[in-house]
Structure 1
Amino acid sequence: MMKLAVNYSKEAHQLVEDAVIEVDMFKCPDFSKELIENAEKTKPCYVHFALNVGDKQMNNVDWDAIETLKQQTQTPLINVHAVAFAKDYPDMDVFTNNSADRNKIIGAAIADLEPVIERFGAENVVMENVVCRGKNENMIKAIIEPEILTEIVKETGCGFLLDTAHAQMTSKCLGFDVKRYLSQFPLDYLKELHITGIQSDEKGRLRDSMPMTEDDWDLAKWVIDGIKAGYWQEPWVAAFEYGGVGPKFEWRSEETVLIRQVPFLRGLL
């Protein structure tokens, strides 16, 4: 049975400690051992790593530090984000359909996955879908296409991490039907699930880690129902990615949202 996690924040920590909300674990960032140790006084933790595949940065990773964090917490899987940053492909159109371009992107992701898999084993690695916003943005569309993600997963044997907010943002930006788009992902290899709301900022740009809206709940329920019906593999955890720590996230860690939405998500699970 999949566990329920919530992004670690001071607000979430206090609400769990006071038994106002109930979760199985905290999902913690990888940049603060002190934060993790503090969180573990109240609930088990697992770590979400800031690792990308496809941008040729694996030589800069401190693998011993990652292994230590994995062993010291209840983190069963090493997560990576599948990326194809436009800056790394300056001569490539964001919407390229050229087979050579697509093969280059696939090859870069697989090459970056190799050292992760060699160290931890393919069965202990999951690859997450990211956001593509289209022209003049930072991500080449090929890397968010279901057939390419599926090819990488099947070629390497790693698992898949589905982020519903990323799929929803991509779909709204590129004009996809989100359920049709998402259902083509390699969900037979699903091992982890991230759920959170998306909303527009003051400039109309979509962002995630926000409170859930009716559309967000509809998509989350559809995915969870699909998992329960056995259409897709059941992940080990569903993480509610609302709020967090640091300047980027702490302003959107409202107790009232957590009190209302965490129990609702637990009910769906």
Structure 2
Amino acid sequence: MKFAINYSPESLRLYDKGQIHFDLVKLPAWEDAIKAVKKEFACYVHFPLKVGRGKGVIDNETKEPVKWKKIEKMMRQTGTEFVNLHLSLPSKHHPEIPKNSLSTVHFDQVLEKAGKDVQEAVKHFGAEKVIVENEHDGKGRNLRLNTHPEIYHRLMAETGCGFLLDVSHARIAARSLGVDEKEYLQSLPVQHIKEIHLTGIEWFGESHIERARTGGLTEKWISRISETWMDHLPMTSEDWPMVEWVLASIRSGEWSHPWVIALEYGGLGGFFGTFTDEDVLIEQIPKLYSLIHTI
């Protein structure tokens, strides 16, 4: 099992200085990033691909149907193991379904559309190369079904794909549902895990909003994430025990063994660049590296 970090100039600089260590760099699907990193570092690509509307796999950066040749090229360039898909169910894309509905009829409608989209990727790469990531409620913008564990179990069963467990997404989903975080995590298809993402979680309040404004984020963007639980932030004293519990679940064999665990803190531009702090990287990456490599 390998440990990956989000691509950021700060992380690569700290690695070159010998202040942090990691096995892989997790890259956005950007050609310039791939060219800049792959010469010196082992890396893989995390793709911005969404499923769930029944209209095929959508590239979230272009908002257009995915161009598979582009994906295939990036996979070859970096040796990326899997094509990752995000199950995204904004209520605006499903006006016929009440936002909080958990009815069997609506469940089946969503599952049929999502399954159709996932099968498109399976057709191109084979089920063993496709993984689906869990999502939270998007500050109430997504259908409640987006957080329903059974959706993910059924997708795995019906398409044969694997599971990308985003621990922070699961914890935020649990909080929105008012259920225990560990119980919610256990209810997901943890025996199908192929990859895991970790971050810290914080309430995105006034101090975060001010930092976002100083960093040049737009008010529209800030409004999407303010006054709610936000991931992609530093680990806090509440986050470390959860990380240790996740790793213990893998070590015990209760959860399947992922090929990589990635820290999704730090990055380039926008939110990620604004909230990247070198001191956090220096403190937290070595600790995570050590914990993960005890498994």
TM-score normalised to structure 1 length: 0.95
Q: Deviations over 1:165-197 (max 9, x none)?
A: 101111122211010000011111100000001
Residue 236 (structure 2) pairs with residue 213 (structure 1): yes
Larger mean Cα displacement after TM superposition, 233-242 or 81-90: 81-90
Residue 269 (structure 2) pairs with residue 267 (structure 1): no
Deviation at 1:40, TM superposition (A): 1.8
Specify the code of the residue in structure 2 equivalent to 1:260.
E
* Structure 2 CA distance for aligned equivalents of residues 81 and 192 of structure 1: 13
Deviation at 1:143, TM superposition (A): 2.2
Deviation at 1:57, TM superposition (A): 4.5
Q: Which residue pairs with 2:172 in the alignment?
A: 169
Partner-residue secondary structure (3-state), 2:150 = helix
Kept after mapping to 1: 8 A contact 2:25/2:43: yes
Q: Which residue pairs with 2:188 in the alignment?
A: 185
Partner-residue secondary structure (3-state), 1:232 = coil
Q: Which residue pairs with 1:5 in the alignment?
A: 4
1:1-269 alignment, distance < 5 Å: 2-30=1-29, 32-55=30-53, 56-58=55-57, 60-132=65-137, 137-202=140-205, 203-269=226-292
Specify the code of the residue in structure 1 equivalent to 2:12.
H
Kept after mapping to 2: 8 A contact 1:127/1:158: yes
Larger mean Cα displacement after TM superposition, 199-208 or 156-165: 199-208
Partner-residue secondary structure (3-state), 1:126 = strand
Q: Deviations over 1:202-260 (max 9, x none)?
A: 24222111001122211111111110111111000000000111212101111100110
Q: CA RMSD in A?
A: 1.3
Q: Deviations over 1:48-72 (max 9, x none)?
A: 0001110224271110000000011
Specify the code of the residue in structure 2 equivalent to 1:179.
K
Kept after mapping to 2: 8 A contact 1:133/1:174: no
* Structure 2 CA distance for aligned equivalents of residues 201 and 184 of structure 1: 27
Deviation at 1:133, TM superposition (A): 5.0
Unaligned runs of 5+ in 1: none
Unaligned runs of 5+ in 2: 59-64, 206-225
Specify the code of the residue in structure 2 equivalent to 1:50.
P
Deviation at 1:41, TM superposition (A): 3.0
* Structure 2 CA distance for aligned equivalents of residues 114 and 97 of structure 1: 24
TM-score normalised to structure 2 length: 0.87
Number of aligned residue pairs: 265
* Structure 2 CA distance for aligned equivalents of residues 15 and 42 of structure 1: 14
Kept after mapping to 2: 8 A contact 1:13/1:42: no
